[in-house]
Structure 1
Amino acid sequence: MSPISVASIDPSSIDAGAVAHYGDPSREQKILDTEAGLVDRSHRDVLAVPGVDRLTWLHSLTTQHLTGLPPMTGSELLVLSPHGHVEHHAVLVDDGTATWLDLEPGAGAGLLTFLSRMIFMTRVDPADATADRAVLSIVGPRTDEALRALGVGPLAPADVVPVPPAKFATGIVPPRPTAKYAAAALPGFDGLVRRVEGGADLLVPRAAVPDVIAAAALPPAGIWAYEAVRVAARRPRFGFETDHKTLAAEVGWTAQAVHLEKGCYRGQETVSRVHHLGRPPRKLVLLHLDGIATDELPAPHTEVVKDGRAVGFVGTAVRHYELGQIALAVVRQNVKPDDGGQLQVGPSTAAIDPL
């Protein structure tokens, strides 16, 4: 069956360049949830940062601890505003010669502009590699089997350092990335594999995408299935579960992308203050939507209303094959699952998942 493109549904969507589904979104979700499938995410932007100073340079500009990062290791990072608001989120992998950053479609130009302004006398050469490199994702509990079929592995699962409590003693957080993703070369395709939570990302030459898909021999799944699995796992996405005033702690990025003991970087004071106070202004929650008033899913940044007042916004809403209509939302910290009063998202009644 021919794929149905998101572009044919909503050309203004950030995912317009991806395949929505391959005829059966629910079945594709189940494959990603219980087996392993391949998602073409080649609409993501990719930046390359070669140069001998790349790791110390990125360490000084971002939230992640990157000095001494071993080759063939991945992680995540944020670039913050001076007031600590999230301006960029990227997933990275270093191959020993260059650090590769992949990020949301259309976000690469803004991050590249920022990085280019910060070069000064540093031996780095950041560049847009989107035209040359593409991201494919293997998702599901059978990811390791799929990687072995591609001649890779075994790769260690994602290694994430527990977030320390407020007012923790110095030295608790080790001097390494808070999230370490094992990586390896993809034989025969001049590509890289990065083992992440819930699957693995393949960074390959764009011209090799059809051959890599054929070699993987996995059931294809569209971006709708990928997003449904992501929402159910409560993983935030930049531009969806974020707005202009998002703090890293509000959406749970402190674990994967923020090192709480590294040296000074832009926005670090806010990160430290919010963590030690222990109570960010907002939080990420999973909403269950009743789906009675309408079958239409709310658009990103639709208000969440309680007792007639806006208390947050929806990020991503999906139809999950088991959970029905669900959504990730960012709401005020004092909004509780059991404190009475109904939440409203457009015409739909919503409830916060207590877990």
Structure 2
Amino acid sequence: MTDPFSQLPGAVNGDEGVEHFGDPVREQRRLLAGDAIVPRGDRAVVRVAGEDRLTWLDSITSQALKRLTPGESTELLVLDPHGHIEHAAAVVDDGEAVWLIADAGDAPKLAKWLGMMRFRARVEVAERPDLRVVGFVAGGAAEERAVGAALHPADRPLVWRDPWTGVGQGGWQYARVEEHPGTQLAWAEAIVDEAGAAALAEHGDVAGLLAAEALRIAAWRPRWSREVDERSLPHETDWLRSAVHLDKGCYRGQETVAKVHNLGHPPRRVAMLHLDGSESVLPAPGAVVRDGESEAGRITSVARHHELGPIALAVLTRRTPADAPLVVDVDGVAVAAAQEVVVPADAGATAEVPRITRLSRRPLAQ
């Protein structure tokens, strides 16, 4: 399927889609103002149909979905038996099917896993490579264009509105801030077909993936293709905030989620780093973050923000002090990094476990 956005003037294409259209900083501002849309070549669509779709997905994922209403948005995680993240997806239901939007590298694996888990459930799982995803910030002209171009099965536009703007029902926030930066980004994504994508491309006023990434990082928002590895627990990136319902029934990995949240601490924690821009170099994802001579963690996402300058998300060890003077290795250059704590080191252990009176070991008096 031809990408109409990649043919626009100034389009600079990367492995995942159009990175920018000539001016990433201006594109960020247009995007944030609600004027531009982003072609999300890095996202893909999976459709789950059938009368059991909501109860079935509820039983095998981290999110409470049984009472999801048509048009309502949420997100889910698929965990392994030890609570590690395997898949992540945005969720919107149209009344007849659940539409999942996942990072492009994860969508085929997610669809395959869901297909293997059907058993006797009355569901049908299908990848939809014929469809595209476009992103926008709600509240402006871009929203009107994207909603108009979106597919409308069951007379409802397929538009997912990111729940990261607040703590979801049954969720929990570890970040200790008066105002979470996620509340300021009303992000949304629309599912469009080839004709809808062509109409949006013809209109213009588009932004690239670099602009979307910069806004995401500034909002402390994790994603599967960047912040997740084989050891990732949802607590480490504050993903309990929007993708985990702590009070729902059992699902795979639920025991670990509850144990870490109520009694323990996640072994790692995400932080946002403000990078020294004087060297004019940006680290790549995977770059080592150091606290003195010790390795403190790794960069997972990086961008140049139109106001904050060079910023990054990094997954650090829990033992890394919140005030440690960190540096990032970039091609032999040590780039200084100021840490902004997202998940504190003492996150978790939230249960108020009553003290039990200890019985004396002394023999009873005769």
Q: TM-score, normalised by structure 1?
A: 0.80
CA spacing shift, 1:207–1:258, aligned 2, 3 Å: same
Shift of residue 35 of structure 1? 4.0
Distance, in Å, in 2 between the alignment partners of 1:38 and 1:270 is 39
Question: Which position in structure 1 is the counterpart of 2:282?
Answer: 297
Give the corresponding residue for 2:272: 286
Q: Which amino acid aligns with 1:250?
A: E
Partner residue, 2:316? 331
Question: In 1, are the aligned partners of 2:161 and 2:189 still within 8 Å (CA)?
Answer: no
**C-alpha distance in 1 between matches for 2:226 and 2:162:** 26
Q: 1:345 to 1:211 in 2, by over 3 A?
A: same
Deviation at 1:252, TM superposition (A): 1.2
Which residue of the partner structure matches residue 161 of structure 1?
A: 168
**Structure 2: 5+ residue stretches without partners:** 1-7, 149-155, 175-183, 343-366
State the number of aligned residues. Answer: 311
Q: Of residues 122, 131, 148 in structure 2, which corresponds to 1:133?
A: 131
- The alpha-carbon deviation at position 199 of structure 1 amounts to 2.8
3-state DSSP of counterpart to 1:32: helix
The 1:74/1:354 distance shift into structure 2, 3 A limit, reads closer
Tell me if structure 1 keeps the 8 A contact 2:60–2:251.
yes
Structure 2 counterpart of 1:147: 143
Aligned equivalent of 1:235: 221
What secondary structure is seen at the aligned counterpart in 2 of 1:71? coil
What fraction of aligned residue pairs are identical, expressed as a percent?
A: 40
CA distance in 2, matches of 1:317, 1:65: 32
Partner of 1:198: 186
Question: Partner amino acid for 1:320?
Answer: H
Find the residue that maps to 1:46 and give its secondary structure: strand
One of 238, 248, 252 as aligned partner of 1:262: 248
Q: What is the root-mean-square deviation of aligned Cα atoms in Å?
A: 2.7
Q: Is the 8 A contact 1:75 1:91 kept in 2?
A: yes
Following TM superposition, the consecutive aligned residue runs of length 4 or more in structure 1 with deviations greater than 4 angstroms are 148-153, 155-159
Show CA shifts across 1:14-58 (max 9, x none). xx1411111111111122233431001144221111111111111
Three-state SS of the structure 2 residue aligned to 1:121 is coil
**Cα deviations across residues 273-301 of structure 1 (Å, max 9, x unaligned)?**
111136322111110111334x3321112
- Are 1:43 and 1:134, in contact at CA under 8 Å, matched by a contact in 2? no
Aligned to 1:37: 36
- Structure 1 residues 93, 146: closer, same or farther in 2, change over 3 A? same
Unaligned runs of at least 5 residues, structure 1: 8-15, 167-195
Equivalent position of 1:98 in the other structure = 97
Match of 1:62 in 2: 61
2:258 and 2:238 map into 1 onto residues whose CA distance is 15
* Alpha-carbon offset, residue 119 of structure 1: 0.8
Q: TM-score, normalised by structure 2?
A: 0.78
Q: Which amino acid aligns with 1:266?
A: R
Structure 2 residue aligned with 1:175: none
Task: Please state whether the residue corresponding to 1:244 is helix, strand or coil.
Answer: coil
